[in-house]
Amino acid sequence: MMVVMSLTRAEAADRAATVDVHEYEVHLDVTAEGETFGSRAVVRFDARPGSSTFLEFEPVSVESMTLNGVEVPASAASAGRLRLDGLASRNELVVSATMRYSNTGEGLHKYVDPADGNVYLYQHLFINNAGRVLPAFDQPDMKASFKVSVSAPAHWTVAANGLLRSSSGGLWEFEATKPISTYLASLFAGPFHAVTDEHDGIPLALYVRAALGEHLDAQAEELFTITKQCLDRYHEMFDIRYPFGHYQQAFAPEFNFGAMEYPGLVIFRDEMIYRSAVTESQREGRANVIAHEMAHMWFGDLVTMAWWDDLWLNESFAEYLGTRVAAEATRFKGTWTTFAMQRKAWGLRADQHPSTHPVAPVSVADTDEALMNFDGISYAKGAATLKQLVAWVGDEAFRAGLNAHFAAHAYGNATLADLLAQLAKASGRDLSAWAEVWLRRPQVNTLRFVAGEDGSAAAVVQTAPEDYPTLRPHKIGIGQYERGPDGTVSRRSLIEAEIAAVARTEIPDISGKSDLVLLNDGDLTYAKIRLDEASNAAVPTLLPLIGDSLARAVLWAATLDAVVDGERPVAELVTLVLAALPVETEVVIVEDVLRATRSLVDRYSTPETRPAALELVAQAADRLLAVSEPGGSRQLAAARGFIGATVEVARLRDWLAGSGVPDGLAIDADLRWLILYRQVVLGAAGPAEIDAEFLRDRSATGEQWAVRCRAAVPDASAKAAAWRSVIEDVSLSNRLVEMTASGFWQPEQLDLLAPYVPRYFAEMPAMMRLRSGMSAERTAGLAYPEVVVGPETRRLAAELLAREDLEPILRRIVRDHDDDMRKALAARF
């Protein structure tokens, strides 16, 4: 186990004032088998003469260590830090050490592919893991050039941020990078498969495990096309061209994030190289990630936040620009619909949790807190806020402000104040009041439409939660919808309205009766939307007939949110799903409605009412399946939804055997696993079937599915083994632990699982000490007994939360999950 000490904001500020780092010259030796690798680093930096400092450093052993030619005792390195005293004005630290590979996705992650036994490595130093690979001043505002070389087995390939200078005899040497933050230094190594191309003078490359090579070959054209389209669009928008030489995109196994924006070498999770059929919305999601990571090349990599307070400067901008550029430049025009439907729900959920925080916190205390802020607020709410900002200042001023920001801080660091100053200058508007309510204050407003009556004007009533009474100015669209005599539904008008930061804003432009009034039509603002009574009553008949998918997404999102809040019963939602889903044409809406409804049914119905509600969800999916075009995305989305909700085990068995399969639906490797997983949950298949399927599909994905299925087996010894894996098996990689935890809790198995509810609260603190960082956080979240909705679960949560020594990340996870359960318990029927 590694003990990574959290770096505090004060320590970082102090260190940046003491030390000015120029270069890391790093040589890694990954030729030996086993769990360790060699790391030789030369760190060149200036300092205040006579001062002291420290570097993050977690060696297994130190072979030699000198500062300015003088030996540094090994005892200087302890508890994750290397302490240096008596610094000169120019310093050279030279360290040779043995370091440990990780299996948690942090530091240098080592992966053995079950398909062919090949070994792959990738380096992920974010958020404070540089010390797992080399001694480093590991904070975002201490940028330096990285000059990297790697000794690796001769049949491998190694890629890094910098351009390859030479490779021969198992030695890869890379050009020194431009100044970058430590968390952005990366590597990808192994006998991987590569496809290369070039665009506008920029060398392009795609890398993946050999076992996925044929799939990469089949998808390379789409990936390169999107990459080129996005590069062109960013070059139109920004004055500074792509600044990091080549643009390599690697797809790595067991990656913790969707992807990471390493300059010159973006790394994605390799689930994004598809080996089975996927839907158009999954392809859209991948295009969006490509555009998102590319946005970071400017926002994050070229200009970096000074400290994690301004994490949002990275993520909100990348989320906003990625969504926008994917829509503007690629064939995926519907990314804002996905954003309205899916991403904003993530932001809203995080923003209403007890742990809510501003988009731009004034001060983030340390790296632990920063890690926790990687949530729906920093991404989705921040991006929605930027969309609202663009509506306020106009796009031209927005882009002019960004370009001025890049010009002023290229290869350096910047803060919220720096950015606001440029945006204010470009737009001629004082943005301080806007920034205060939108960026500095947490939580969300509700906008409710009130129809005019007896001569009074229609109005928008704005409210805020009691604890966070801030009202905000909103610029929104308001759509009026009408059912025609022929049964079609049309938008009679779409007006733009400025809602003031007051409780009631009259909307005199809304006149006459319409069948449905939709606030935030066009999705310009970030708010909870509530309809008036008449509109609400019209939703089941009108929603399916509205032509604009973005309007349908806003309406669906508002409906789902009202159920989450207990304002509408989940039974009503299920009825709406049955009526409206079979005619839904937008795949992302189909997928998200099925997923969200399924989750609400699991948590908001009782064990008595759940089977009937779930049956209606299965029926809705089945009806959609019956009318979907063969082989299309909607058919696949419907099939997945049906498999996840049905209890018809005979039909599932037939599909696996290839009989009764809907025309055009490929029962391929991943769909086979999904069917088997459902059979296992229902007790219709067990370990023998899981083993047989894994023999048939001995791939990385097959291994993950097998682990997940084994955790779902409704049998006391299977549950005991799965729980042990989650709690104490550190030999299991990050991804396999996640898969185990995600298969464990099943609403169909409540009796069997009852003993594990108290065990979660008793044993999770020890699990958090055993695993690290993101892996620990993920595991604790996935293992939460959220389907065991009841006062006893809440009592145990309260008991754990009362413990003063509770680790902050676990405290946050338990508080937030418990708050979700509070809502579910109050609303369930």
Catalytic residue IDs: 293
- Within positions 453 to 492, which residues make up the interface with Zn ion, using CB under 5 A? none
Q: Smallest distance, Å, CB 445 to Zn ion?
A: 26
- Residue 534's nearest CA partner among 547, 551, 517 is 517
Q: Which of 528, 527, 591, 539 is nearest to 562 (CA)?
A: 528
Rounded to a whole number of angstroms, the minimum distance from the CB of residue 406 to Zn ion is: 17
Q: Which long-range contacts (CB under 8 A, 24 or more apart) does 694-697 make?
A: 697/669, 697/672, 697/673
Q: Where are the alpha helices (DSSP H) in 410-532?
A: 416-427, 432-439
Task: Give the tokens for residue 119.
Answer: 């070994």
Instruction: Report yes or no: 86 and 674 within 8 Å, Cβ to Cβ.
Output: no
Q: Minimum Å distance from CB 778 to Zn ion?
A: 17
CB of 684 to Zn ion, least distance (A): 41
Measured from the CB atom, is 250 or 400 closer to Zn ion? 250
For the bound state, the minimum distance from the C-beta of residue 735 to Zn ion, rounded and expressed in Å, comes to 20
Residue 245 tokens read as 């030489």
Q: Sign of the C-alpha dihedral, residues 660, 665, 666, 670?
A: negative
Q: What whole-number distance in Å separates Cα of residue 436 and Cα of residue 779? A: 35
Q: In the bound complex, what is the minimum distance in angstroms from residue 318's beta carbon to Zn ion?
A: 4
| 773 vs 785, beta carbon nearer Zn ion | 773
What is the Cα–Cα distance from 342 to 411, expressed in whole angstroms? 34
User: Shortest distance, CB of residue 142 to Zn ion, whole angstroms?
Assistant: 21
Distance of alpha carbon 395 from alpha carbon 388, whole angstroms:
11
Q: In whole angstroms, how close is the CB of 259 to Zn ion at the nearest point?
A: 8
Q: E-assigned strands of 48-89?
A: 53-56, 61-67, 70-71, 77-78, 81-84
User: CA-CA distances (angstroms) from residue 817 to 458, 467, 480, 765, 769?
Assistant: 38, 19, 37, 16, 20
Strands 202-208 and 247-252, how do they pair?
parallel
Q: Is residue 563 part of the contact set for Zn ion (CB under 5 A)? A: no
Q: What distance in Å separates the CA atoms of residue 42 and residue 560, rounded to the nearest whole number? A: 55
Interface stretch with Zn ion, choices 127-135, 140-148, 219-227, 315-323 (CB under 5 A): 315-323
Residue with Cβ nearer Zn ion (319 or 368): 319
Q: Which stretch binds Zn ion (CB under 5 A): 314-322, 345-353, 625-633, 696-704?
A: 314-322
Q: Which is nearer to Zn ion, 383 or 706 (CB)?
A: 383
Q: Cα(506)–Cα(498) distance, rounded to whole angstroms?
A: 10
* Inter-residue contact 63 to 88 (CB < 8 Å): no
First to last CA, the chain: 45
User: Which H helix or E strand runs over 65?
Assistant: strand 61-67
The position carrying tokens 């055009």 is 664
| Exposure string for 5-14, b = 16+ CB within 10 A, e = fewer | bbbebebbee
Report, in Å, the least distance between residue 345 CB and Zn ion. 19
- Check binding of 305 to Zn ion (CB under 5 A): no
Encoded tokens for 395? 């796009």
For Zn ion, the closer CB: 290 or 318: 318
Q: Using CB under 5 A, which of the segments 103-111, 308-316, 481-489, 592-600 binds Zn ion?
A: 308-316
Residue type at 409 in one-letter notation: H
Which tokens in the block code for residue 505?
């804003």
Q: Give whichever of 315 and 748 is closer to Zn ion, judged by the CB atom.
A: 315
The residue (of 378 and 388) whose beta carbon lies closer to Zn ion is 378
Regarding 348 and contact with Zn ion (CB under 5 A), the answer is no
- 318 part of the interface to Zn ion, by CB under 5 A: yes
Taking CB under 5 A as the binding criterion, the range among 143-151, 313-321, 681-689, 778-786 that sits at the site for Zn ion is: 313-321
Q: Virtual CA dihedral for 62, 68, 69, 74, nearest 10 degrees?
A: -20
DSSP state of 249: E
- Cα(694)–Cα(59) distance, integer angstroms: 37
* For Zn ion, the closer CB: 318 or 450: 318
Under a CB-based contact definition with an 8 Å cutoff, are residues 7 and 57 in contact?
Answer: no
Write down the least CB distance from residue 292 to Zn ion, Å.
6
Q: 617-676: which residues touch Zn ion (CB under 5 A)?
A: none
**Total interface residues for Zn ion by CB under 5 A:** 2
What is the x/- site pattern for Zn ion, positions 120-149, by CB under 5 A? ------------------------------
The residue nearest Zn ion at its CB is 318
Closest distance of CB 742 from Zn ion, Å:
23
C-alpha span between 683 and 229 (Å, rounded): 48
CB atoms within 10 A of CB 543: 21
| Binding characters for Zn ion, 509-548, by CB under 5 A (x = yes) | ----------------------------------------
Q: Which stretch binds Zn ion (CB under 5 A): 175-183, 317-325, 505-513, 765-773?
A: 317-325
Q: Of 127-135, 307-315, 531-539, 742-750, which segment contacts Zn ion by CB under 5 A?
A: 307-315
- Residue closer to Zn ion (CB basis): 268 or 449: 268
Q: Please identify, among the stretches 208-216, 312-320, 352-360, 434-442, the one whose residues bind Zn ion according to the rule CB under 5 A.
A: 312-320
The alpha-helical segments, DSSP class H, found in 546-648 are: 549-564, 570-580, 587-604, 610-627, 633-645
Binding segment for Zn ion (CB under 5 A), chosen from 107-115, 196-204, 318-326, 791-799, is 318-326
Q: Which is nearer to Zn ion, 285 or 522 (CB)?
A: 285
Task: Give the residues lining the site for Zn ion (CB under 5 A).
Answer: 315, 318
